[in-house]
């Protein structure tokens, strides 16, 4: 009986060791953490072969949905459906337009994504793309950004992320909105965070990458975790 127990203990220890090693990077000389690869796309990329995209190692994609309060990206629905069918985890983003009501922009974004199956299947947190704003009306823009974020968060019960670069944010809204997740746009090997943020959730590290299944240059992204972590960030019940 004791011998059987000893054998069982050895087997359990081996299984435990395998479990630990599976969660560690054991490659020789590795100094860089492993990230999940992603892209972000719009109609600029034209028609995309999402099966090839997934086959090339891409595991998530942010897809442009809307801009201002009247514009839907022409390829949004095709990209939304194609990415999901291929196995790519998807999320939608809105390009913020200065001088247009944040409430109106949020309402339009919500109307477009609610026409999809995101509520049943789950999706990455909605993203707000903030860039290229004029310095003359930044105070007004800040108020409208706040309205968009609060409106979308309340409607979807999911905290949005903000896409921005360090230079843009530190010039326009230093230290603001840092309770939201950061989708960092920074094309350097050593990331620089905008003032107030201590980490990034997504990192767009190139705007001119090449990916199987896409004929044009495409932005490349990373997620700050493993694939299971990425799946746990998705929101459901929209």
**The token pair that represents 82 in the structure block:** 């194609």
Contact 98, 129 (CB under 8 A): no
> Which residues are known to be catalytic?
40, 131
User: Which of 82, 26, 23 shows the shortest CA–CA distance to 58?
Assistant: 82
User: Which of 204, 48, 66, 60 shows the shortest CA–CA distance to 122?
Assistant: 60
**How far is it, in rounded angstroms, from Cα 116 to Cα 152?**
16
């Amino acid at each position: 009986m004791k011998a059987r127990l000893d054998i069982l203990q050895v087997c359990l220890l081996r299984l435990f060791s395998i479990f630990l090693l599976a969660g560690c990077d054991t490659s020789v000389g590795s100094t860089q953490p492993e990230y999940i690869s992603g892209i972000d796309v719009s109609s600029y990329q034209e028609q995309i072969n999402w099966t090839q995209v997934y086959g090339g190692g891409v595991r998530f994609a942010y897809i442009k949905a809307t801009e201002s309060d009247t514009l839907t990206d022409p390829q949004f629905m095709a990209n939304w459906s194609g990415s999901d069918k291929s196995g790519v985890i998807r999320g939608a983003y809105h390009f913020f337009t200065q001088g247009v009501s944040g409430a109106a922009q949020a309402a339009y974004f919500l109307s477009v994504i609610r026409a999809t199956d995101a509520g049943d299947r789950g999706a990455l947190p909605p993203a707000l793309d903030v860039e290229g704003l004029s310095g003359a009306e930044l105070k007004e823009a800040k108020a409208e950004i706040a309205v968009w974020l609060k409106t979308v968060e309340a409607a979807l019960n999911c905290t949005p992320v903000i896409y921005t670069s360090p230079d843009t944010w530190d010039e326009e809204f230093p230290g603001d909105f840092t309770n939201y997740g950061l989708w960092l746009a920074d094309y350097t090997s050593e990331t620089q965070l905008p003032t107030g943020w201590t980490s990034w959730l997504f990192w767009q590290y190139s705007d001119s990458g090449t990916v199987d299944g896409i004929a044009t240059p495409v932005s490349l992204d990373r997620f700050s975790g493993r694939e299971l972590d990425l799946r746990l960030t998705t929101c459901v019940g929209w």
